[in-house]
Copies of this chain bind each other. A is one copy, B any other.
């Protein structure tokens, strides 16, 4: 019986690989560096070797494997299985992971965007079991999204749906990596938190943030700011308050537009907990229609960094 699935979550710095059952039970997991600088050929060879090693490790034959699911960053052509363009993975454009792995293993290979994949993981095996419609936010260096409707990923007309990080909510706001201004990503991502902190410590040199980085402004990250906030530092708390408030506007806009049963917040910033979630929930409550807010559970990711791999498994199911 083909009861096993190989799931990959491919990122700009690392690649997670799992073998799981069709019930989402992870049998084995490993993480390898992407080594973008060495090009896709090198890394794909490593992926193939790792898959072979993992199968051997859990004593599963290829005949028992249903397929390979892969989450990749950026936009992709799901039919050809090629990555179209990923800012963090130059050199991978046009590479068909699908063809390469399919001809190597003789298994079906299905690719999808990594935020979509994580959304599917949460729907099938995480916070959203028994939920038909959910919207997943990944709040990390950037902000991405995945939209599950009637239990399935909503891809949109050109496979570009759920780009919630580039929803404009402050037209004259700070510049985003995408070139526009006032995108949610420019206001509530880890990058936005760190940038805001770097600016604000200038007038607040006594903030704990500065102590935590030995007065080297360049070392400030969202994680450092979260640490300072949890220690009670006023500036750090204010920065998270602002980011959470903007995130709450983003959540409310999604609620008013899509009216989902659940919003799942994942990604690195979701670990910061109440310093982000409290202002986010408060603002979402203010901005969304009453019933729309009431029927929607807003919860942190349950699967954390395995959401992507498990969602990749879900692609094959």
Contacts and interface: CB of A to CB of B under 8 A. Distances in A.
A85 B168 CA distance: 30
A161 B257 contact: yes
A163 B257 contact: yes
Contacts of A260: 156-157
B160 A133 contact: no
A171 B157 CA distance: 30
B171 A170 contact: yes
A168 B162 CA distance: 17
Interface size class of A (residues with CB under 8 A): 35 or more
Counted per complex, copies of this chain come to 2
A146 to B, nearest CB: 11
B168 A287 contact: yes
A162 B249 contact: no
13 contacts: A157-B261, A157-B295, A157-B296, A158-B259, A159-B259, A160-B256, A160-B259, A162-B257, A163-B259, A166-B289, A167-B257, A170-B171, A257-B258
A259 B286 CA distance: 27
Contacts of A75: 291
Nearest to A259: B156
A254 B258 CA distance: 10
A140 interface: no
B252 A161 contact: no
Given A133-B157, A259-B161, A260-B156, A168 B253 contact: yes
A180 interface: yes
Interface string A254-293: 1011111100000000000000000000000011010110
Interface string A284-311: 0011010110111000000000000000
Interface in A222-266: 249, 252-254, 256-261
Nearest to A245: B171
